[in-house]
Amino acid sequence: MKPAAFEYHAPASAEETVALLAEWGDEAKVIAGGQSLVPMLALRLAAYGHLVDLRHVEGLRGIEHRDGRVRIGATTTQTTLQRSPEVGELIPLLVRATPLIGHFQIRNRGTIGGSLAHADAAAEYPAVALTLDAEVEALSVRGRRRIPAADELLTAVTFPVWRGPCGFAIEEFARRSRGLALAGAAVAVGLDGDGRIDRCAIGLFGLGPTPRRAPEAEAAAVGSRPDEQDADALGRLALAGLDSVPSDLHGSADYRRRVGAAMVARAWRRAVREAVDG
């Protein structure tokens, strides 16, 4: 099938882009790498009268490290992030999540802004952003703000850099190699001077309508020593309070919970090993 006819716009600036979005309202849609949007248009799961292409928009691409934070422009591709030594050093979880996204052809075009705006419940980047408390910048004709909404352009995402002894890991289980995750977990841990866990973030994906954190498991980990924690018990705790776990042809809610707990346990072991061993 072919997409329904649309008018194509290629603005040169973010301001021009949001003016077009304001002018055409629900009829307009931004297109970045097209890796999620184009299949939806081609299958006629969605139709828009106006597509606003971000590829020529100045200032939306690039990686900047300042004041303990890394700001990534929305149209920075997944491959650029995967290959960036700076991101590898400062936000290792993001680089480790990237090879789990589809295939290299998809990552060559797919953008971080597209992944976050599309916000698939099983996608890796939204889960990483949630785990690391990243902030999203959005621009509309009304101005800039930190949380995206329908008629806004996501311009960048900023990640805080974790310092000191810390470790990061992401694990997922998918039915097909490089398919969307049936269940996945991202874990970040930091140690204090005595080797106790003083920071812990656990993000879950594929396990609900949006990625989610596991606050009870995080709280149980903080203050303990890594060797005092039973990874499997922590995984079960992370999933214990989770509601709205989907049940479908790919797996029942109960199955997803068990797989999710195993992914947390696996990611936990790897993250802790990195934090302890450096």
Toward ligand FAD, which CB reaches closer, 181 or 201? 181
| Rounded-to-integer distance, Cα 257 and Cα 263, Å | 10
Q: Give the binding-site size for ligand FAD (rule: CB under 6 A).
A: 30
Toward ligand FAD, which CB reaches closer, 61 or 257? 61
| Rounded-to-integer distance, Cα 155 and Cα 130, Å | 17
The yes or no reply on residue 101 touching ligand FAD (CB under 6 A) is yes
Toward ligand FAD, which CB reaches closer, 33 or 190? 33
**Which residues fall within 8 angstroms of residue 203, CB to CB, at 6 or more apart?**
127, 128, 130, 131, 185, 186, 187, 211, 212, 213, 214
- Site for ligand FAD, residues 170 to 189, rule: CB under 6 A: 180
Q: Which member of 9, 14, 28, 36 binds ligand FAD (CB under 6 A)?
A: 36
What x/- string results for residues 109 through 148 when contact with ligand FAD is judged by CB under 6 A? Answer: xxx-xxx-xx-x--xxx-----------------------
The yes or no reply on residue 92 touching ligand FAD (CB under 6 A) is no
Phi first, then psi: give them for residue 133, nearest 5 degrees: 55, 45
Block residue for tokens 């650029």: 80
Comparing CA positions, the residue from 119, 34, 13, 33 lying closest to residue 77 is 33
The yes or no reply on residue 81 touching ligand FAD (CB under 6 A) is no
**Which residues fall within 8 angstroms of residue 236, CB to CB, at 6 or more apart?**
261
Q: Which member of 154, 157, 265, 272 binds ligand FAD (CB under 6 A)?
A: 154
Toward ligand FAD, which CB reaches closer, 209 or 215? 209
Residue 149 CB neighbours (<10 A): 9
The yes or no reply on residue 153 touching ligand FAD (CB under 6 A) is yes
User: Minimal distance in Å, beta carbon 227 to ligand FAD?
Assistant: 34
Three-state SS letters, 128-148: HHHHCCCEEEEEECCEEECCC
User: Minimal distance in Å, beta carbon 62 to ligand FAD?
Assistant: 14
Toward ligand FAD, which CB reaches closer, 151 or 216? 151
Q: Which member of 9, 11, 14, 35 binds ligand FAD (CB under 6 A)?
A: 35
Comparing CA positions, the residue from 103, 256, 105 lying closest to residue 176 is 103
| Rounded-to-integer distance, Cα 161 and Cα 16, Å | 32
Toward ligand FAD, which CB reaches closer, 110 or 251? 110
| Rounded-to-integer distance, Cα 271 and Cα 75, Å | 29
**Which residues would be at the binding site for ligand FAD (CB under 6 A)?**
29-37, 39, 54, 74, 101-102, 106, 109-111, 113-115, 117-118, 120, 123-125, 153-154, 180
